[in-house]
Chain A
Amino acid sequence: MRRYPQIALVIGLVASAVVSFFSDAIDGYALNILILVGINIILAVSLNLVNGHTGQFSLGHAGFMAVGAYVSSSLSLFASEPILKLLGGSGPVANNVFFIFLLIAGGVAAAICGLLVGIPSLRLKGDYLAIVTLGFGEIIRVVFQNTESVGGARGLGGIPQFTTLFWTFAIAIVTIYVIGCMVNSTYGRGFLAVRDDELAAEAMGINTLRYKVVAFVLGAFFAGIAGGLYAHYIQFITPEGFNFLKSIDIVVMVILGGMGSTVGVTVAAIGLTYANELLRDAEQYRMIIFALLLIVLMILRPQGLIGDLKWLRKRKKKTA
Chain B
Amino acid sequence: MTKPCFILLLLCAFVSGGGCKKSGGANENEIAIGEFAALTGGTASFGQSSHNGTKLAVDEINAAGGVLGKQVRLFTEDDQSKAGEAATVVRKMISREKIVALLGEVASSRSLEAAPIAQQAKIPMISPASTNPKVTEVGDYIFRICFIDPFQGTVLSKFALKREWKRVAVLTDVKQDYSVGLSQYFIEHFKANGGTIVGEQSYSSGDSDFNAQLTSLKSASPEAILVSGYYTEAGLIARQARQLGVTVPLLGGDGWDSPSLVEVAGKAMEGCFMSNHFSNEDPAPKIQDFVKKYQAKHGQIPDAMAALGYDSAMILADAIKRAGTTDAQPLRDALAKTADFDAVTGKITLDEKRNAQKSAVILTIKDSKFSYVETVAP
Enumerate chain A interface residues (CB-CB to B < 8 A): 1-2, 5, 8-9, 11-12, 15-16, 19, 22, 25-34, 37, 145-146, 152-155, 157-158, 161, 169, 172-173, 176-177, 180, 184, 234-236, 238, 240-241, 262-263, 266-267, 270, 283
- Asked, given contacts A154-B177, A235-B117, A270-B9, whether A29 binds B96 with beta carbons under 8 Å apart, the answer is yes
Q: Is the CB of B9 within 8 A of A152?
A: no
B7 near A173 with CB under 8 A, answer yes
Q: Are B116 and A158 in contact (CB under 8 A)?
A: yes
Given contacts A1-B2, A15-B11, A37-B13, 15 further A-B contacts (CB under 8 A): A8-B6, A26-B17, A29-B95, A30-B17, A34-B17, A152-B174, A153-B204, A154-B175, A154-B177, A155-B109, A158-B116, A234-B84, A262-B1, A262-B6, A270-B13
Q: Is B14 an interface residue when CB atoms closer than 8 A count as contact?
A: yes
In the complex, per-residue mask of B314-345: 1 if CB is within 8 Å of any chain A CB, else 0 = 00000000000000000000000000000000
Verify B180–A154 contact, CB threshold 8 A: yes
Report if B236 contacts A (CB, 8 A): no
Give 1 or 0 for each of B6-27: 1 = CB within 8 Å of chain A CB.
1101110110011010110000
Q: Nearest 3 A-B pairs (CB), nearest first?
A: A28-B95, A8-B3, A30-B20
Interface contact A155-B113, CB-CB below 8 Å: yes
Min Cβ gap B118→A in Å is 12
User: Which single residue of chain A is at the shortest CB-CB distance from B91?
Assistant: A32
Most buried by B among A12, A30, A158, A234: A30
Q: Which residues of A contact B2 (CB under 8 A)?
A: 1-2, 263
Contact A157 B91, beta carbon cutoff 8 Å: no
Q: How far is the CA of A2 from the CA of B6 in the complex (A)?
A: 12
B169-186: contact bitstring with A at CB < 8 Å (1 yes, 0 no)?
A: 000001111001000000
Docked complex Cα distance between A283 and B366 (Å): 40
* Complex interface: chain B residues within 8 A of A1 (CB): 2-4
| Residues of chain A lying within 8 A (CB to CB) of residue B138 | 158
Q: Which of B4, B78, B82, B120 contacts A240 (CB 8 A)?
A: B82
Most buried by B among A19, A155, A236: A236
In the complex, whether B291 has a CB less than 8 A from a CB of chain A is: no
Given the known interface contacts A27-B22, A234-B87, the answer about A34 and B14 at a Cβ–Cβ threshold of 8 Å is: yes
Residue of B20, B94, B120 near A33 (CB, 8 A) is B20
Closest to B94 in A: A28
What is the interface residue range for chain B against chain A? 35 or more
Task: Indicate if B83 sits at the interface (CB-CB under 8 A).
Answer: yes
Answer whether residue B369 sits at the interface, using C-beta atoms and an 8 A cutoff: no
Cα A277 to Cα B9 with chains together (Å)? 19
Structural contact, B83 and A15, CB atoms closer than 8 A: no
Please tell me if B112 contacts chain A, counting CB pairs below 8 Å.
Answer: yes
Looking at B3, B10, B175, which has the most chain A CB atoms within 10 Å of its CB? B3
* Minimum C-beta distance from B218 to chain A (A): 24
Q: B63 at interface (Cβ–Cβ under 8 A)?
A: no
26 contacts between A and B (CB under 8 A): A15-B11, A16-B10, A26-B18, A27-B22, A28-B91, A29-B22, A29-B91, A31-B17, A32-B91, A32-B95, A34-B13, A153-B176, A154-B177, A154-B180, A155-B112, A157-B113, A169-B10, A180-B3, A180-B6, A234-B87, A235-B87, A235-B116, A236-B116, A240-B83, A262-B6, A263-B9
In the complex, which residue of chain A has the Cβ closest to the Cβ of B180?
A154
Residue B284 lies at the interface, judged by CB distance under 8 Å to chain A: no
Give chain A residues whose Cβ lies under 8 Å from the Cβ of B109. 154-155
Give the shortest distance, in Å, between A246 (CB) and chain B (any CB): 10
- B6 near A176 (CB under 8 angstroms)? yes
- CB neighbours (8 Å) of B6 from chain A are 8, 12, 173, 176, 180, 262-263, 266
Docked Cα-Cα span, A245 to B18, in Å, equals 30
Kindly state the separation between the CA atoms of A184 and B87 in the bound complex, as whole angstroms. Answer: 40
CB of A263 within 8 A of CB of B84, answer no
Which A residue sits closest to B113, measured CB to CB? A236
Q: List chain A residues, Cβ under 8 A from B23.
A: 29
Flag if B94 contacts A267 (CB, 8 Å): no
Structural contact, B84 and A238, CB atoms closer than 8 A: yes
Instruction: Tell me the complex Cα distance, A34–B19, Å.
Output: 11
B 195-221 binary contact with A (CB < 8 Å = 1; else 0): 000000000100000000000000000
Complex interface bits, B87-114 against A, C-beta within 8 A gives 1, otherwise 0:
1000110111000000000000100110
B64 at the interface (CB under 8 A from A): no
Cβ contact within 8 Å between A241 and B117: no
> Are B4 and A8 in contact, CB atoms less than 8 angstroms apart?
yes
Q: Which of B82, B95, B113 is in CB contact (< 8 Å) with A27?
A: B95
- Bound complex: CA of A176 vs CA of B78, how far in Å? 36
B10–A172 touching, CB < 8 Å:
yes
A31 CA to B95 CA, complexed, in Å: 10
B192 within 8 A of A: no
CB distance from A35 to the nearest CB of B (A): 10
Q: Which residues of A contact B5 (CB under 8 A)?
A: 263
* Chain B neighbourhood of A155, CB < 8 A: 83, 109, 112-113
In the assembled complex, the CB of A258 is this many whole angstroms from the nearest CB of chain B, namely: 13
Contacts of A180 in B (CB 8 A): 1, 3, 6
Q: How far is the CB of B77 from chain A (nearest CB, A)?
A: 10
Chain B residue at minimal CB-CB distance from A33 = B17
Q: Which of chain A's residues has its CB closest to B121's CB?
A: A28
The CA of A235 and the CA of B2, in the complex, are separated in Å by 36
Task: Establish whether residues B94 and A263, one from each chain, have CB atoms under 8 Å apart when the complex forms.
Answer: no
Chain B residues within 8 Å of A34, by CB: 13-14, 17
> Which of chain B's residues has its CB closest to A16's CB?
B10
With a cutoff of 8 Å between Cβ atoms, the chain A residues found around residue B96 in the complex are: 28-29
The reply to whether B175 and A263 form a contact with Cβ atoms under 8 Å apart is no
The docked-state distance in angstroms from the alpha carbon of A154 to that of B5 is: 42
Contact A157 B116, beta carbon cutoff 8 Å:
yes
